[in-house]
């Protein structure tokens, strides 16, 4: 079945609530293990239907935010989901207290019950109105971003369509493109400040009402982090400052010399090479044909996966007016279908985002028959290991996408991955400061950003871009608005992707086997336990970055990009 043929049916809130309440009552009265398991199965099918319809409406809305029908459906779910989740929470509490819990743990796993126990702490009837408000504010930010129509080079363009100009080999074009791009954020500065201020305050209120000391603790619970906390993340951030920030500063200086610039400004950072950034050869259809060859040659399982994705047309890849920014992969349980969303714009990022989301989709595909998949929810750090590692494991096929520029792409891809980590850590540290001081003013938050920027991005220079010099660049990062404390997961995963990169250099077949095993085991164990089970180093361990980041540094240091 093709994605376009999937039938959307709004799940009626009152009917779903009645079913959940009935299942809860039956579970409380269940006299034996078999009856309890049957009730859990029926509750799971109900959840899968709600999740499928919610995800389907989300995809169709994000593909075209101007579609009034799916705009209304997204508004519906923003309103309905907190109430449904609260009712489901009551069911889960009954599940945790069931006399047959040990039997059910044997069926769906102990880690699943750990996640359920954590999630029951994140919602109550007392915060339903606040959760609705939080959803609406996050959606409002997404729509604001999608509404951007910027006049540049004789046409109206959205934010994603500005990226190629921001990577131009002509400095004047880059500078003009940056000014145009950020003019949208400056125009809406007050609006975004207000949106975020409301989000911070409502999230803090929810956390306090639920009994947490701060939203930081609630956010970690929402993210399903059962085996590490924000103090361990702080230790990891210190390692990044020690081991990666100096390397990043060195790489920026190397970039400045390569570009033959007297000074590297913010608008110079996206240009990696004076020849121009390597760009994929061919349009989206040609890239997908090459991707089919790549996945066919990588393994029989990836061949089956990508054949399914193409036949199902479960991808929307091109940037276009009205489309939300960014990229994502989601899963539709009713149809066992992963879906990839991207914004191709003719840059090397097209291949990076596609292989990245392809890693997510591959995990979803090989896990699609897991009857208890909803309870085997993987942490985002684990999910991002799937995606970021796939970016490196597909390196041998980059010649198909970039031709004679493949080695240039590989070099700049690895450098870009190293340079990303300090930024990703800065985003996380910024959010910690924000929620440690929820009463701070918008101007005080901008100063918080400048503080962490100086710690992790010491070479950054905005030239005369006053709006950014005041501490506003973070407003382009949608995760801060819609997925708080998610961003650190990308950096943790990038570190683990470097581990897979190193393994693939030494033995590609063995590296793929370990990756595939890691994907299939994900969701059954917490992140650190999963790493230990697969003999992988933990980025939280003291000194861990010092053990394998140097090998990545040595690799890029030995390459003269001017000779590529």
User: What is the structure's pLDDT at 365?
Assistant: 98
Residues 432-448, mean pLDDT to the nearest whole number = 98
Cα-based angle 41, 45, 47 (whole degrees, multiple of 5) = 115
- For residues 69 and 76, the answer to whether their CB atoms sit within 8 Å is no
Asked if the structure places residue 247 within a domain, the reply is no
Which regions of 105-232 does DSSP assign to beta strands (E)? 150-152, 155-157
Strands 337-344 and 315-318: parallel
Q: Rounding to the nearest 10 degrees, give the CA dihedral for residues 378, 384, 387, 392.
A: -130
Q: pLDDT for 298-332, tens place per residue?
A: 999 999 999 999 999 999 999 999 999 889 999 99
- H or E element that contains 317: strand 315-318
291 — pLDDT class (breaks 50, 70, 90): very high
User: Using 50, 70 and 90 to split pLDDT, how confident is the model at 548?
Assistant: confident
- The arithmetic mean of pLDDT across residues 123-128, rounded, is 95
pLDDT tens, 458-493? 999 999 999 999 999 999 999 999 999 999 999 999
Backbone angles phi, psi at 341, to 5 degrees: -115, 130
The answer to the question of residue 99 being in a domain is yes
* Beta-bridge partners for 328: 341
Question: Is residue 456, in this structure, part of any structural domain at all?
Answer: no
Q: Which of 488, 407, 499 is nearest to 230 (CA)?
A: 488
Q: What is the residue range of 20's domain?
A: 3-108
- Tens digits of residue pLDDT in 151-164: 999 999 999 999 99
CB 248 within 8 A of CB 423: no
Mean pLDDT of 560-564: 93
Cβ 451 vs Cβ 433: under 8 Å: yes
Residue 83 is predicted with a pLDDT of 95
Q: For residue 143, give both structure tokens.
A: 């729509």
d(CA 256, CA 76): 50
C-alpha 544 chain-centroid distance:
24
Quick one: pLDDT at residue 2?
Answer: 98
Residues 6+ apart with CB under 8 A from 290: 282, 397, 400, 401
Q: In total, how many domains does the chain have? A: 1
Closest alpha carbon to 539 in 381, 420, 377, 419: 381
- Is 391 within the bounds of a domain? no
Q: Does some domain include residue 76?
A: yes
The answer to whether 433 and 234 have CB atoms below 8 angstroms apart is no
* 285, two tokens: 């259809």
pLDDT for 330 equals 97
Q: Strand pairing partners for 337?
A: 332
Band (547; pLDDT cuts 50, 70, 90): confident
Q: What is the pLDDT of residues 378-418, one digit of tens each?
A: 899 999 999 999 999 999 999 999 999 999 999 999 999 99
Position 546 confidence tier, pLDDT thresholds 50, 70, 90: confident
Distance of alpha carbon 234 from alpha carbon 239, whole angstroms? 9
Helices 349-366 and 284-298 cross at an angle (nearest 10°) of 50
Looking at residue 543, its pLDDT comes to: 86
Alpha-carbon dihedral angle through residues 270, 425, 374, 97, given to the nearest 10 degrees = -170
What digits encode the pLDDT tens for the residues 46-72?
999 999 999 999 999 999 999 999 999
pTM of the predicted protein model: 0.93
What confidence tier does 246 reach under pLDDT thresholds 50, 70, 90? very high
Q: Would you say residue 501 has pLDDT above 90?
A: yes
pLDDT-based confidence at residue 377 (cuts at 50, 70, 90): confident
Nearest by Cα to 145 from 162, 165, 120: 162
């Amino acid at each position: 079945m093709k994605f376009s043929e999937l039938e959307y049916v709004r799940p009626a809130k009152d009917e779903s609530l009645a079913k959940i309440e009935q299942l809860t009552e039956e579970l409380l009265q269940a006299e034996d293990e078999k009856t309890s398991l049957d009730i859990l199965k029926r509750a799971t099918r109900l959840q899968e239907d709600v999740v499928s319809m919610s995800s389907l409406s989300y995809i169709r809305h994000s593909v075209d935010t101007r579609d009034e029908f799916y705009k209304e459906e997204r508004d519906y779910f923003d309103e309905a989901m907190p109430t449904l989740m609260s009712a489901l929470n009551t069911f889960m509490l009954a599940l945790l207290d069931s006399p047959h819990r040990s039997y059910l743990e044997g069926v769906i796993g102990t880690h699943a019950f750990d996640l359920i126990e954590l999630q029951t702490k994140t919602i109550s009837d007392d915060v339903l109105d606040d959760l609705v408000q939080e959803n609406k504010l996050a959606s409002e930010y997404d729509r604001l971003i999608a509404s951007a129509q910027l006049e540049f080079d004789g046409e109206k363009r959205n934010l994603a369509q500005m990226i190629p100009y921001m990577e131009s080999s002509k400095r004047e074009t880059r500078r003009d493109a940056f000014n145009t791009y950020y003019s949208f954020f400056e125009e809406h500065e007050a609006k975004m400040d207000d949106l975020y201020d409301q989000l911070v305050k409502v999230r803090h209120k929810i956390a306090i009402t639920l009994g947490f000391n701060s939203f930081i603790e609630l956010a970690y619970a929402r993210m399903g982090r059962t085996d590490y906390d924000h103090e361990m993340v702080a230790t990891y951030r210190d390692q990044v400052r020690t081991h990666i920030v100096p390397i990043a500063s060195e790489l920026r200086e190397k970039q400045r010399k390569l570009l033959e610039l007297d000074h590297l400004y913010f608008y110079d950072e996206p240009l990696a090479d004076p020849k121009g950034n390597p760009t994929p050869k061919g349009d989206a259809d040609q890239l997908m044909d090459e991707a089919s060859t790549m996945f066919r040659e990588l393994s029989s399982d990836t061949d089956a996966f990508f054949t399914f994705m193409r036949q199902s047309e479960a991808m929307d890849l091109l940037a276009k007016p009205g489309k939300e920014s960014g990229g994502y992969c989601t899963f539709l349980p009713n149809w066992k279908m992963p879906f990839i969303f991207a914004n191709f714009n003719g840059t090397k990022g097209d291949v990076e985002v596609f292989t990245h989301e392809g890693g997510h989709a591959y995990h979803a595909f090989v896990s699609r028959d897991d009857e208890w998949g909803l309870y085997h929810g993987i942490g985002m750090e684990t999910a991002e290991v799937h995606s970021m590692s796939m970016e490196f494991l597909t390196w041998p096929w980059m010649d198909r996408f970039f031709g004679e520029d493949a080695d240039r792409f590989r070099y700049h891809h690895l450098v870009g991955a190293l340079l990303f980590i300090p930024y990703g850590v800065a985003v996380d540290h910024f959010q910690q400061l924000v929620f440690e001081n929820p009463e701070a003013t918008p101007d005080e938050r901008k100063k918080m950003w400048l503080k962490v920027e100086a710690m992790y991005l010491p070479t950054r220079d905005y030239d005369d871009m006053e709006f950014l010099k005041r501490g506003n660049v973070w407003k382009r990062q949608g995760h801060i608005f819609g997925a708080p404390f998610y961003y650190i997961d990308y950096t943790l995963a990038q570190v683990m992707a470097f581990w897979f990169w190193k393994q693939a250099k030494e033995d590609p077949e063995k590296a793929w086997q370990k990756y595939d095993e890691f994907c299939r085991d994900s969701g059954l164990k917490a992140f650190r336990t999963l790493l230990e089970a697969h003999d992988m180093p933990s980025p939280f361990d003291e000194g861990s970055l010092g053990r394998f980041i140097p090998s990545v540094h040595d690799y890029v240091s030995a390459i003269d990009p001017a000779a590529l």
